Amino acid sequence: MNKYVLDSLYNHKMICETLLKSGYSAAVALFHQRASCLHEQPEDELPVLRCIYLTSLNKSLYNFILFAWDLSLTECCYENTAYSHHYRDETFFLEAGEKIILSYSRLICAAGPQTSYIEKACDYIKDNLDQELTLEVVAQNIYISNSYLSQHFKNITGQKFSEYVSNQRIILARNLLLTTELKIDEIAQKCGFLSSTYFSTVFKKRTQFTPSHFRKCFAGISQYQGIK
């Protein structure tokens, strides 16, 4: 059996990611596409291969959702084991795969409120302030769609996505200036600014101080209220 078929049987990461980011319809379309590799396999091997595929798909979806969203859908996974035996012909096999995907789709839509996803986005931003932080990058890493993050971020946080990221960078910079002896260019890098010059420009615009002057004026003060 070639490597592509084996990968299609056991590696369902793309289907899992697509379900969480783009929804049921896109995930099912990808399932049909990847399952088409079984057409080329010997007829007498198809029942076993279909069973392997459905079993693996079910477990992959369960594990991926558990890892990505810390959401354990054990009952769903258990109930879906019955579908792994729906492999009598291609129609039954494809319907079973669709039902497995649909069962997880319904639960993940109902399980988590909007706030939990936005909290994950905020946590990711705070943990990665030294990196490029576009809406697309954050959405990809917390497994939600760009449109979902864009639509709900301001409603939950009260700030636009770009404003929130900028605020967090300045808050971190402020704290590093007050609590460390790092050089200005090192702080700029840790806060995700491409240059110390740009960092100084943004910092002064937000706090009315250059980074050096801010450190000189407020050294030893653990909290500064200029930025909320």
User: With 70 as the cut, is the pLDDT of residue 137 above it?
Assistant: yes
- pLDDT (0 to 100) of residue 220: 66
What would the mean pLDDT of 23-42 be, rounded to a whole number? Answer: 93
User: With 90 as the cut, is the pLDDT of residue 133 above it?
Assistant: yes
Of 227, 162, 172, nearest to 199 by C-alpha is: 172
> 223 falls in which pLDDT band (50, 70, 90)?
low
* Per-residue model confidence as pLDDT tens digits over 167-219: 999 999 999 999 999 999 999 999 999 999 999 999 999 999 999 999 998 87
Indicate the angle between helix axes 211-218 and 161-179, nearest 10 degrees.
Answer: 50
User: Which range has highest mean pLDDT (43-47, 157-161, 172-176, 222-226)?
Assistant: 172-176
Residue in this structure with the two tokens 């080329």, named with its chain if needed: 40
Residue at 101: amino acid letter: I
Residue in this structure with the two tokens 């420009």, named with its chain if needed: 201
Residue at 136: amino acid letter: E
SS3 per residue for the chain: CCHHHHHHHHCCHHHHHHHHHHCHHHHHHHHHHHHHHHHHCCHHHHHHHHHHHHHHHHHHHHHHHHHHHCCCCHHHHHHHHHHHHCCCCHHHHHHHHHHHHHHHHHHHHHHCCHHHHHHHHHHHHHHCCCCCCCHHHHHHHHCCCHHHHHHHHHHHHCCCHHHHHHHHHHHHHHHHHHHCCCCHHHHHHHCCCCCHHHHHHHHHHHHCCCHHHHHHHHCCCCCCCCCC
* Per-residue model confidence as pLDDT tens digits over 101-124: 999 998 887 765 566 788 889 999
- pLDDT (0 to 100) of residue 188: 97
What would the mean pLDDT of 38-67 be, rounded to a whole number? Answer: 93
Over pLDDT 90: what percentage of the chain?
68
Average pLDDT, the chain: 90
User: Which range has highest mean pLDDT (15-24, 80-89, 151-160, 164-173)?
Assistant: 164-173
Kindly tell me the burial class for residue 148, based on how many C-beta atoms sit within 10 Å of its own C-beta (0-12, 13-18, 19 or more): middle
Phi, psi of 169 (to 5 degrees): -65, -40
Rounded CA separation 44/115 (Å): 50
Q: How many CB atoms lie within 10 A of CB 10?
A: 14
Enter the pTM of the model: 0.68
- pLDDT (0 to 100) of residue 227: 46
- pLDDT (0 to 100) of residue 221: 64
